[in-house]
Amino acid sequence: MPLYSATLPAAADLYGDIEPAPKVRWVDYLPGLFVAGLASLASAYLAEHYGAPLTLMALLVGLALNFLSADARLLPGLAFASRTLLRIGIVLVGARITLAQVAGLGWTALAAIVVIVAATMGAGMLLARRMGHGAAFGALAGGAVAICGASAAMALATVLGERRISQAQLALVLVGISAMSAVAMVAYPILCHLLGFDDRQAGFVLGAAIHDVAQSLGAGYAFSPAAGENATIVKLTRVALLAPALAMTGYVFPQQGGKGPSAFRIPWFVVGFFLLAALNSTGIVPASVGRGATSLATALLVCAVTATGIRSPMQTLLKSGPKPLLIILVASALALGLACAVAATLL
C-alpha cells in the first residue's frame, strides 16, 4: 500500500488541514530527501557554472524531475523538504536582519518601503480578481514581487494552503518571479544610470524593486559599492516585512472553516523569524554564526523549491498558460515605478 494516496499531496499545508501527516518511519524520508538534495546540488552547480539565479535553476531542475512524483517511495521525503525545511529556512532568514539596519534608513524611506510593499501586493490581488484567478493567487504573486521573490512565494503558499493555491500555480509564480528577478538585476542598474540617480537613490530603487535578495544585492554592487550597501539595507527591510505580510495574509485568508479574527493564528515560523531577527539585533550573535545561518537558510529554501518543482505535474502547470504571468509583470512595473518616484522626489 503506498505511503501517500495517488492524489498529488500538498507541498504548502501550514495547518495540516489538507492532508494528514503520513504514518511513516524516519527512514522513509531518506529517499525523497536524497533526491531533493542531489537535485539541489545540481542546481547550485548549474547556477554557478552559467551565472544563472539559483532559485530559477532549482525550480527548473525540480520541474524536469516531476515525473518522480509518481513514485510513492519518494513522497514522504519530498513533502518534508517542501514543508518542514521550508519553514526552518524562513526562520533562518531572520539572521539577515537587525533593527539598527532598518532604523538607519530613516522614517521617510521606511514608510515608503511599507507603502510600496502594500501597494504592490494589493495591486496583485485586485488584478488577479479582475482576471478571474482569485485574490489568493494575487496575494501570492503580488507578495512575491513585493517582498523577497521566491522565498516570499513559498512562505505565502504555506499560509494560503493548497485549497487556495495549487502546486501548478505556485510553480508558475516561482518561474515568473525568478525570470523577472534575473531581468531586473541587469536592467534596473542601467535604468538608474539613465535617470541620473546617485548612490543613495539607486540603492533604494534596487533594494525596493528587485525581487530576490541575491539579485537585488548583485544589482546594487554592480552600480557602486555605496549603492550596494544601501540596497542591502533596503532589501533586508523588505525581507523583514515578510512576517507581518504573512500575518495579514493569514488574517485575510483564514484557516478553512474559520471566520474572521477568531480563526487567525500566527504561524510558528513567523514568530521564529521575529525572534531570530531580534536576537540578531542585540549584537551577541557572532558574525560567523550569522553567515552560517544565512547560508543554511539559502540551502533549505533551495531544497524546498526543488522539492516543490518535483511535486508539480508539468501538464497541470502548462494548462495554466502565460496569462497569470501578467500579474507578476504588472506588479513588478508598479514596484519599480513607485521606487523610482520615491528616489526622485524624497531622497
Q: Is the pLDDT of residue 340 over 90?
A: yes
Confidence (pTM): 0.67
Answer whether 117's CB lies under 8 Å from 238's CB: yes
Higher pLDDT, 258 or 242: 242
Give burial (CB, 10 Å; 0-12/13-18/19+) of 296: middle
Q: Is 51 helix (H, G, I), strand (E, B) or coil?
A: coil
Q: Which cell numbers in the block locate residue 342?
A: 520615491
DSSP string of 158-195, one letter each residue:
HHH-TTTS-HHHHHHHHHHHHHHHHHHHHHHHHHHHHT
Q: Is the pLDDT of residue 262 over 70?
A: no
State percent of the chain over pLDDT 70.
84
Helix residue ranges, H only, the chain: 30-50, 54-64, 75-80, 86-93, 99-103, 107-130, 135-146, 150-160, 167-194, 199-209, 213-223, 225-240, 242-252, 268-281, 287-310, 314-319, 325-346
Answer whether 153's CB lies under 8 Å from 166's CB: no
Each domain of the chain, given as residue ranges in start order, spans 26-346
Higher pLDDT, 120 or 70: 120
Answer whether 338's CB lies under 8 Å from 115's CB: yes
36-87 per-position pLDDT tens digit = 999 999 999 998 888 777 777 887 888 888 888 778 888 888 888 877 887 8
For range 156-170, the mean pLDDT: 80
Answer whether 142's CB lies under 8 Å from 123's CB: yes
72-85 per-position pLDDT tens digit = 888 888 888 877 88
